[in-house]
Amino acid sequence: MDYVYGPGRNHLFVPGPVNIPEPVLRAMNRNNEDYRSPAVPAMTKILLEDVKKIFKTTTGTSFMIPTTGTGAWESALTNTLSPGDRIVSFLIGQFSLLWIDQQQRLNFKVDVVESEWGQGANLDILASKLAEDTAHTIKAICIVHNETATGVTNNLAQVRRILDEYRHPALFLVDGVSSICALDFRMDEWGVDVALTGSQKALSLPTGIGIVCASPKALEASKTAKSVRVFFDWNDYLKFYKLGTYWPYTPSIQLLYGLRTALDLIFEEGLDNVIARHSRLGKATRLAVEAWGLKNCTQSEEWFSDTVTAVLVPPYIDSTEIVRRAWKRYNLSLGLGLNKIAGKVFRIGHLGNLNELQLLGCLAGVEMVLRDVGYPVKLGSGVAAASAYFQNNTPLIPSRI
Amino acid sequence: MDYVYGPGRNHLFVPGPVNIPEPVLRAMNRNNEDYRSPAVPAMTKILLEDVKKIFKTTTGTSFMIPTTGTGAWESALTNTLSPGDRIVSFLIGQFSLLWIDQQQRLNFKVDVVESEWGQGANLDILASKLAEDTAHTIKAICIVHNETATGVTNNLAQVRRILDEYRHPALFLVDGVSSICALDFRMDEWGVDVALTGSQKALSLPTGIGIVCASPKALEASKTAKSVRVFFDWNDYLKFYKLGTYWPYTPSIQLLYGLRTALDLIFEEGLDNVIARHSRLGKATRLAVEAWGLKNCTQSEEWFSDTVTAVLVPPYIDSTEIVRRAWKRYNLSLGLGLNKIAGKVFRIGHLGNLNELQLLGCLAGVEMVLRDVGYPVKLGSGVAAASAYFQNNTPLIPSRI
Amino acid sequence: MDYVYGPGRNHLFVPGPVNIPEPVLRAMNRNNEDYRSPAVPAMTKILLEDVKKIFKTTTGTSFMIPTTGTGAWESALTNTLSPGDRIVSFLIGQFSLLWIDQQQRLNFKVDVVESEWGQGANLDILASKLAEDTAHTIKAICIVHNETATGVTNNLAQVRRILDEYRHPALFLVDGVSSICALDFRMDEWGVDVALTGSQKALSLPTGIGIVCASPKALEASKTAKSVRVFFDWNDYLKFYKLGTYWPYTPSIQLLYGLRTALDLIFEEGLDNVIARHSRLGKATRLAVEAWGLKNCTQSEEWFSDTVTAVLVPPYIDSTEIVRRAWKRYNLSLGLGLNKIAGKVFRIGHLGNLNELQLLGCLAGVEMVLRDVGYPVKLGSGVAAASAYFQNNTPLIPSRI
Amino acid sequence: MDYVYGPGRNHLFVPGPVNIPEPVLRAMNRNNEDYRSPAVPAMTKILLEDVKKIFKTTTGTSFMIPTTGTGAWESALTNTLSPGDRIVSFLIGQFSLLWIDQQQRLNFKVDVVESEWGQGANLDILASKLAEDTAHTIKAICIVHNETATGVTNNLAQVRRILDEYRHPALFLVDGVSSICALDFRMDEWGVDVALTGSQKALSLPTGIGIVCASPKALEASKTAKSVRVFFDWNDYLKFYKLGTYWPYTPSIQLLYGLRTALDLIFEEGLDNVIARHSRLGKATRLAVEAWGLKNCTQSEEWFSDTVTAVLVPPYIDSTEIVRRAWKRYNLSLGLGLNKIAGKVFRIGHLGNLNELQLLGCLAGVEMVLRDVGYPVKLGSGVAAASAYFQNNTPLIPSRI
């Protein structure tokens, strides 16, 4: 018996790991298999092609590494860069901070461009840095597409435009952990060199696969990159790709079958429809926050995130108590505020395999918790705002028309 | 791939089959076993005792028959009565109607006491019938505890009082399909002779076990009852109980393990807490209906059901369209109006392993559907009413305090 | 924790319930669904057609009743016969005995044709009874295709020939519980009027669906059959078939999805290949028994069963001890001897989703148990005989060629 | 539908990933959870203590890293050593070779001590190296406990004795991937400084957790080790251990619950009984190989492995064909010969949650395959030898006595 059992479903609204759909749970409910039999490589081959679709790349090379997002970060950096390389990296919240910490520990020379938490990456500074860097000392631009701690989505198309404007050859490395497969992401069109995500985010799987896509330019860079790497070395994968056996070490059989089904569900729904659904969920959440009279941690509309909303609470309330109480009384799992904004925000993750009524249940729960902790919200107000939007914008489920 | 796939969870609010909790799904995820090994009888023995707790009987004998509620009905009748026996039966909705149909086809002489749909059993008529029946020609009183079609809960304690008042020896047979394990039910205290439920209702399992409890008096009656029966014959079970092998034919191994876990969850929560939770869910639903400006099909508070609410729609709306649209647009499964009240009501099942936020998601969905079909509900109004009640009345989850 | 846990797999070789393949377990690992939504009827419609393929009937009508084999028996009898009807029934083992008991309790006039256990149905007596019955007082012939207690397969084609020879209109009712989907069975060709099986046998599902097929003649008979029936009444099903909603009461959602997958697996393998596989498993088992110097309970080759082998043990050994020890020491589940042959035989079930190496593991286990109980078997002898046969006769797995 | 479906169970006898017991599959069949809720840290805390039991350490510190064995290797090395450090490493097969390759790529100065494949580590050379190394330039001894490619178990107690003899302070790093939880392993007693295994080996889980235990001396070394590391850095874990939140990044919820159950099964059986079971399985396999007239790749009894047996085939046979055919015809998964011994050996993995009859089924299958490829094995001979051993040595299953 689980020792924290509560009746009914847990309402999982942290921004990862997210809800796993039943067909994926079913697909993973299986014994191990010999990964050297013909079956697993055959499945892997197709998966490697199919994951590229969620990155919107046809020219990239994909890697499915048995690791987390942190490991995928490390893979992106160590395969393309050498110790001492200068990189520009944007600090806008806890996850970009952690990535920068990793970059520094991996001995890159990191030009940190910091913004206030709640703002997006300062691309003007990027522009000026690139303008100055006629010697091309900057080897890479590292940016999170969506900062999970603050609910801020950066404008990657704009990053590309700036790079192009200055004809700067720096690699363009993107953390897409809480964006890919949920937000509009276009690896090839935006000239992203390495993009990555984790299985437990919008793909709605358990943790365990770090998915990394490398552009031809990134692959080329990997040939001369001097960062020490073994487990995360793309070359070991490429060697086994050539052999047709695909795996330098044992993959999780269950996650491969799970990924197969997760992709099938996404393709059946249609990637654009998946993105549109996230857009609906994000917009509805923001309307609810507004109706509650609370502020979004994200300071400007241009950065609004459709996968996570960080909600600022009044100074007299500790947001940690909101998260604690949601779990203890309503079986609702919300995200904590992290680091600088600990106690000041709580987060609603609205990504992955999720629908409108699930979110409305969550919003109704948040309203009750807000009252529990002394914020005089009008019960039903956020739900009303969100459902008005849904009622006007939710399409029929295509398979049921 | 399921051909009617929609993203996110299905919101299952029909009054059966109901949501299965994850621990129960896990328990059932297993290969078959030899039911003649020592393991299955040992488990069965304990289960037979433990199911009696949800009937609140210590004197009864329990049967777990591989069948549905309809089969459990048949088992209750054929084991205790003989063709031609006079019985009093209350027609108050579709399920009592179906039971009466079965009673008639099994060749009992059925005294049907009909009420308007939306009202409870007319116990005044019962009293007068018993008063007149000094010859004790009435062999049994058949009554549904909770009529699932109309959301009407009958007063069983009152039935017992009337029987006692007239010192009438008639058997007291109760369909507890949508009540037992969710509503207050007291087999021994109320002198119920046969009570029954189905695994797919408040126990929150798949369909497949008809659980029947028989009082000593009912067991005694079974010795002389002349109704033909084989599959449903209690004697075959009793014979195997004595042998210690328990099963006259092959049970579902998966359902036995599922039942074990379902009972464990109920006992961990506490049966009284389970009943209190249903009371909260029922009350909140009724408050929402009121806030929507709609009428409960149940005509008086005395019969309000805490497991299912049938909602009357205005004459210009077809409730079938509500159910259809809920499923097609919001992945919400509601109950149809049946028979006489088809098109006139839709039903919200709020029984089984379900919590407050799940129900609030459902209520938010109903509001959107109501607008979809042209009823000018104020969005958020029902949710507000329900959550105000919940916010005042929901206890902390004990395991998380 | 299961209280009889032993490391490794349980080796399940009882003749039912049998091993469930992983894809079927996966398919059943799901929440309940509204069975009145469009999805379940759509799936049911196709299933009702597809199950007919394993009966080899195109003219029959199929019923998937939430019950066991015993319930399917009752459905076959009560829908086609009236109390007092004369039927001929063959007693050749425990399961035919139980069916006859049911027939008698249902008030038919049963002409029991008994054979020694280990022999097949005495069809000469059938011929003489039919020859005498010029008045056609015999309303039905009831026969088990495969007697699970003794491992005896009756010759149904011959039954049909005899009926035809005497142009006798008696209904031909067949218990195919341990044959259909494993042995050659031809409902239409053999003019079977009602055939039935249970989900937990060769279909390799959990217990819970009694599958019954009725010929047009049987359906016609059901219109006048006077046996009392409600739960098992085909008419209730036919009514809902016409409505397109298919279910008179709640089916098991899990078993429907499980059946879908079970049939998919059978059709992928090919029904004829499934039957050929059972033939290989049966033959190999018999070769092992011979190599052990033991006798098959089945007295003549013409009746050998490819789904279950009952093995006679020497008089100084109690076969119950073999079964007990197999489970206690080797995690091997064998079938007990039943009734008359209790203690004298143990049974190896070799039906359902099973392959050669699984059976060889079982046979190796039986050898060790035989030595444990004092029978001087030569270890490896049965395995050698069986594997010699397999090595010559097992085809490559088609999907892997 | 799996595109390489074959009827019945897959017989999985590669030396990893291995068979997952049903209770573990059940435990992992669950939705994601918030790993920052109180539940996951509470579970993690106990798991970190409990995994130490299978290493037989009370003084060690454990890490459960979301990675494979290769990642666990990297964690062991980079946390304790600095680039340029001299280490002694034993090359005795493919997996020690791969580890050495990793050591070299991580820029250690590797003193490779090579043995013929089929022999154990040459500890005499170790002794002489240590004897010479009075300056203590050797910083670590790296050794695989059990070389999975050849089925060779090294004598770790002897390594410790030699280190002690020369009072050499080198760290003692052990790859226990195919030994821990199956072979006798004593971290504290043998003074092992870092030991590691992977979840998909004897623990019988899916791939995904690299479990590493570090002695106090290893932890001390980690404070000065200069190898670059982030994802694999123990310090990040230690920081979160102190905070009581335990995870520097997202763990797999499913694997945590799976590990909980895997450990429960092991503790219920008793770790010593688990090891004894592996000893039985190993011994029986070797007896079968002998009976077949084939040679064990392992050249001397002192190195026999109880988790994997590599079988040498006659020169006129390609062992790859044996593996291919086993899978294609008998649904049997055997291990390939790797690198130098490709084509020359096939491997039988007999580790993890496995019992006697499963192995006998495998052995029977190997016999048939051997005949298929032209080796004149006497069918049943290996099974006879193995089952004679089992019949004398297998205890009753304790829970069933």
Helix (H, G, I), strand (E, B) or coil at A19: coil
Q: Is residue C1 part of a domain?
A: no
Give the pTM: 0.98
Identify the closest residue of chain B to C251 by CA–CA distance. Answer: B207
Cβ pair B364:A383 closer than 8 A: yes
Q: Find the closest chain D residue to C19 by CA distance.
A: D8
Domain boundary among C228, C247, C267: C267
Determine which of C231, C260, C328 to mutate to test the interface with B (most B C-beta atoms within 10 Å): C231
Would you state the pLDDT for residue C2?
A: 55
Q: What is the mean pLDDT of residues D116-125?
A: 98
CB-CB under 8 Å, B38 with C4: yes
What is the percentage of chain C residues whose pLDDT exceeds 90? 99
pLDDT in tens, B173-220: 999 999 999 999 999 999 999 999 999 999 999 999 999 999 999 999
CA–CA distance, C228 with B228 (Å, rounded to integer): 8
Give me the mean pLDDT over the B328-336 stretch.
98
> How, if at all, do strands C210-214 and C194-198 pair?
antiparallel
Q: Tell me, yes or no, whether B237 and B321 share the same domain.
A: no
Nearest CB partner across the interface for A250, out of D16, D66, D249: D16
CB contact under 8 A, A30 and C38: no
For residue B1, is pLDDT > 90? no
> CA angle at residue D295 from D290 to D298, to 5 degrees?
110
Residues of C in contact with B36 (CB under 8 A): 14, 335-336
CB contact at 8 A, C86 and C138: yes
Question: How close is the nearest chain A Cα to the Cα of D156, in Å?
Answer: 25
Which of D3, D9, D21 is facing C358, going by the closest CB pair? D9
- Do B245 and B210 fall into the same domain? yes
Chain D residues with CB-CB distance to C397 below 8 A: 4, 6, 328-329, 331
Residues of B with CB under 8 A from a CB of D: 22, 25-27, 29-31, 38, 400
Both tokens assigned to D15:
């030396």
Kindly tell me if the per-residue pLDDT of A307 is higher than 50: yes
A308 lies in some domain: yes
User: If DSSP codes are grouped into helix, strand and coil, which group holds residue A304?
Assistant: strand
Beta carbons of A26 and C31 less than 8 Å apart: no
Cβ pair D27:B29 closer than 8 A: no
Shortest alpha-carbon distance between residue A208 and chain C (Å): 21
Of A66, A68, A249, the CB nearest to D249: A68
**Cβ B357–A332 below 8 Å, yes or no?**
yes
Q: Phi/psi class of residue B151: alpha, beta or left (left: φ > 0; alpha: ψ in -120 to 50)?
A: left
> Final residue of a domain: which of C248, C267, C286?
C267
Q: How far is D258 from chain A (nearest CA, A)?
A: 12
Q: What percent of chain A has pLDDT over 90?
A: 99
Contacts of D29 in chain A (CB under 8 A): 25, 28-29
At A363, the amino acid letter reads L
Is pLDDT of B3 > 80? no
Is the CB of B328 less than 8 angstroms away from the CB of A400?
yes
| Other chains touching C, judged by 3 or more CB pairs under 8 Å | A, B, D
CB distance A187 to A57 below 8 Å: yes
SS (H, E, C) C31-51: CCCCCCCCHHHHHHHHHHHHH
pLDDT in tens, C260-283: 999 999 999 999 999 999 999 999
Q: Greatest CA separation found in chain B?
A: 64
Q: How far is CA C351 from CA B149, C196, C386, D153, in A?
A: 44, 16, 16, 41
Q: Which residue of B has its CA nearest to D27?
A: B26
- What is the rounded CA–CA span in Å between residue D168 and residue D164? 6
Burial letters C159-180, b for 16+ CB under 10 A, else e: bbebbeebebebbbbbbbbbbb
Mean pLDDT over the full length of chain C? 97
The Cα of A320 is separated from the nearest Cα of chain C by a number of Å equal to 33
pLDDT tens digits, one per residue of D233-253: 999 999 999 999 999 999 999
List chain A residues with CB under 8 Å of D10: 31, 33
Q: Do B74 and C12 touch (CB under 8 A)?
A: no
- What band does D1 get if pLDDT is binned at 50, 70 and 90? very low
**pLDDT tens digit string along A88-108?**
999 999 999 999 999 999 999
Tell me: do A240 and A275 sit in the same domain: no
Q: State whether B30 and D26 contact (CB < 8 Å).
A: yes
Best mutation target, B356, B372, B373, B375, to test chain A (most A CBs within 10 A): B356
Task: Please give the mean pLDDT across all residues of chain D.
Answer: 97
A146 CB-near residues (< 8 Å, 6+ apart): A152, A153, A154, A176, A177, A178, A179, A183, A305, A307, A308
Of B29, B107, B230, the CB nearest to C74: B230
Spatial distance between the Cα atoms of B243 and C342, rounded to a whole number of angstroms? 15
Q: Is residue A401 part of a domain?
A: no
User: Could you give the 3-state DSSP secondary structure of residue D58?
Assistant: coil
**Looking at chain B, which residue has its C-alpha nearest residue C337?**
B36
Contacts of D250 in chain A (CB under 8 A): 16-17, 68-69, 198, 200, 207
DSSP-based three-state secondary structure for A353:
coil
Q: What is the mean pLDDT of residues A13-17?
A: 97
Q: Which band of pLDDT confidence, cut at 50, 70 and 90, is reported for residue B260? A: very high
Q: Report which of residues D368 and D3 the model is more confident about.
A: D368
CA distance A18 to chain D (A): 6
**Token pair belonging to D387:** 């089952």
Binning pLDDT at 50, 70 and 90, where does residue B2 land? Answer: low
What are A246-271's pLDDT values in tens digits? 999 999 999 999 999 999 999 999 99
Chain centroid to CA C199: 9
Answer yes or no: do C69 and B336 touch at CB < 8 A: no
In tens, the pLDDT along C57-76 reads 999 999 999 999 999 999 99
Q: Which residue of D has its CA nearest to C263?
A: D1
- Here the tokens at position C75 are 């459905």
Q: What is the pLDDT of residue B197?
A: 98
Asked whether residue C140 is domain-assigned, the answer is yes
Q: Average per-residue pLDDT in chain A?
A: 97
> By the 8 A CB rule, do A311 and A345 touch?
yes
Query: Same domain, yes or no, for C240 and C100?
Result: yes
Q: Which residues pair with A113 in a beta bridge?
A: A90
In a domain, C251, yes or no: yes
The answer to whether A206 contacts D255, with C-beta atoms less than 8 Å apart, is yes
In a domain, B378, yes or no: yes
Asked if A121 and A263 sit in the same domain, the reply is yes
Model pLDDT, residue A1? 45
3-state secondary structure of A347: strand
Same domain, B40 and B89: yes
CATH number, domain containing residue D288:
3.90.1150.10
Q: How far is A242 from chain C (nearest CA, A)?
A: 22
Q: Is residue A4 part of a domain?
A: no
Reported as a single tens digit per residue, the pLDDT across D3-29 is: 689 999 999 999 999 999 999 999 999
Q: With contacts defined as CB-CB under 8 Å, which chain C residues touch B200?
A: 32, 250, 252
pLDDT in tens, B111-149: 999 999 999 999 999 999 999 999 999 999 999 999 999
Name the residue among B22, B30, B38 with its Cβ closest to that of D22.
B30
Domain count, chain C: 2
Q: How far is D243 from chain C (nearest CA, A)?
A: 32
pLDDT of residue B387: 98
Query: Is A400 in Cβ contact with B330 (below 8 Å)?
Result: no
Which of C22, C31, C400 is opposite residue A22, by nearest beta carbon? Answer: C31
What's the gap in Å between the CA of B326 and the closest CA on chain A? 10
For residues B193 and B319, state if they share a domain. Answer: no
Both B90 and B208 in a single domain? Answer: yes
Average pLDDT over residues B215-234: 98
Average of per-residue pLDDT across D316-325: 98
Range of the domain at C64: 22-267
Residue of D nearest to C26 (CA): D29
From chain A, the residues in CB contact with C400 under 8 A are 38
Other CB atoms within 10 A of residue C251 CB = 24
Q: How high does pLDDT run on average in chain B?
A: 97
Cis, peptide link before residue B314, omega less than 30° from 0: no
* A347 labeled part of a ligand binding site: yes
| Least CB–CB distance from C71: residue in B19, B37, B231 | B231
Domain boundary among B267, B282, B310: B267
Give DSSP secondary structure letters for B11-71: EE-SSSS-PPPHHHHHHH-S----TTSSHHHHHHHHHHHHHHHHHT-SS-EEEEESS-HHH
pLDDT score recorded for residue A2: 55
ipTM for this model = 0.97
The separation between CA B329 and the C-alpha centre of its own chain, rounded to angstroms, equals 29
Interface of chain D toward chain B, CB-CB under 8 angstroms: 22, 25-27, 29-31, 38, 400
Contacts of D372 in chain C (CB under 8 A): 391
For A335-387, what is each residue's pLDDT tens digit? 999 999 999 999 999 999 999 999 999 999 999 999 999 999 999 999 999 99
Chain C residues in contact with B249 (beta carbon < 8 A): 68-70
Using CB atoms, pick whichever of C21, C331, C372 lies closest to residue D391.
C372
Answer yes or no: do D26 and B22 touch at CB < 8 A: no
Shared domain for D294 and D232, answered yes or no, is: no
Closest partner CB to C30 (pick from A26, A30, A31): A26
Residues C259 and C317 in one domain: no
* Pairing, β C171-175 against β C194-198: parallel
Looking at residue B177, which CATH number applies to its domain?
3.40.640.10
Same domain membership, residue D297 and residue D244: no
A126 contacts A116 by C-beta, under 8 angstroms = no
The set of residues, in sequence order, having a beta carbon less than 8 Å from that of B302 and lying 6+ positions away, is B120, B155
Let me know: does C26 contact B46? Beta carbons within 8 Å: no
pLDDT digits (tens, 9 = 90+) for D40-67: 999 999 999 999 999 999 999 999 999 9
Asked whether the beta carbons of D75 and D212 are under 8 A apart, the reply is: yes
pLDDT value at C193 more than 70: yes
Q: Which residues of B touch A1 (CB under 8 A)?
A: 23, 264-265, 268
Q: C22, A30 in Cβ contact below 8 A?
A: yes
Distance CA(D276)–CA(D182), nearest Å, equals 8
Contact between C178 and C124 under an 8 Å Cβ cutoff? The reply is no
User: Is C124 within a domain?
Assistant: yes
Q: Please tell me whether residues D170 and D314 are part of one structural domain.
A: no
